[in-house]
Amino acid sequence: MIIGLTGSIASGKSTVSKMLVELGYPVVDADLVARQVVEPGTDTLKKIEAIFGNGVILPDGKLDRTKLGQIIFNDPASRQQLNAVIHPAIRKELLRQRDDFLAQGHQTVVLDIPLLFESKLLNFAEKILVVSVTEETQLKRLMDRNGLTEQEAQARIGSQLPMSVKEAGADAVVFNNGTLEETNQQLLHILRDWGLEYEKH
């Protein structure tokens, strides 16, 4: 089974992802993949340099994310150009890593994709697992974690699809408002419901 794991900012998706790893499930992390596809020497990085010039490349050959961020932040056309290069590369690498795990004999692979709904990648997974929290918890965690004002935190939250939309599109939801133990118990219950054996006993 391919499980698509997602949530919203500060919902605790990374916590649930770690729990799945501890249970023995292989996890393909989209954030990590997004960094891997622009490593020095990759085709993707060469394409980015061709579009935006060598000003976005650091002396050590790595991508200057700050510089690139400044270019695309106020320019929707540039952002579209960048996305047209990066998104297909990320998708291809996600599927390559997923297929690698399946070839190694894993029965279940987790695709940890923060923007699963926003990027319209639902067809990548057979089951969608959403990690959710109340709006109050989400706001407080984000302010505490990133040192943001309430307005800044609200703006970040507002840039993503509402939790209610994600919950409605999920096959199962883990409500991560309580203790880690409560979250873990919900996760185990869902996996049992789906008929999954833990890979580590």
- Where along the chain do its domains lie? 1-26+108-201, 41-105
Categorize the per-residue pLDDT at 199 as very low, low, confident or very high, splitting at 50, 70 and 90: low
State how far Cα 83 lies from the chain centre.
16
Strand order in the sheet with 127-132: 27-29, 109-112, 2-7, 127-132, 172-175
pLDDT of residue 74: 80
Tell me the HSE value of 156 on the side-chain side, using a 13 A CA sphere.
Answer: 20
pLDDT of residue 201: 43
Convert the pLDDT of each residue in 108-140 to its tens digit. 999 999 999 988 999 999 999 999 999 999 999
pLDDT above 60: residue 182: yes
- Average pLDDT of the segment spanning 60-84: 91
Convert the pLDDT of each residue in 29-46 to its tens digit. 999 999 999 999 999 999
Rg (CA), the chain: 18
Closest C-alpha to 30, from 145, 121, 123, 164: 121
Of all residues in the chain, the percent with pLDDT exceeding 90 is: 85
Inter-CA distances, 82 with 48, 75, 120, 127, Å:
7, 11, 18, 30
Closest C-alpha to 199, from 22, 27, 29: 22
Please tell me the distance from the alpha carbon of residue 186 to that of residue 122, in angstroms, as a whole number: 22
pLDDT above 80: residue 90: yes
Please tell me the distance from the alpha carbon of residue 19 to that of residue 180, in angstroms, as a whole number: 10
- Average pLDDT of the segment spanning 95-106: 96
Of all residues in the chain, the percent with pLDDT exceeding 70 is: 98
Q: Return the CATH fold of 1-26+108-201.
A: Rossmann fold (3.40.50)
Residues 6+ apart with CB under 8 A from 73: 79
pLDDT above 80: residue 198: no
pLDDT above 80: residue 99: yes
Closest C-alpha to 187, from 125, 110, 107: 110
Cα dihedral: 188, 191, 195, 198 (round 10): -70
Structural element, H or E, at residue 93: helix 76-103
pLDDT above 90: residue 68: yes
What global pTM score does this model have?
Answer: 0.88
Cα angle, residue 143 at apex, residues 140 and 149 outer, rounded to 5°: 120
- Average pLDDT of the segment spanning 144-156: 91
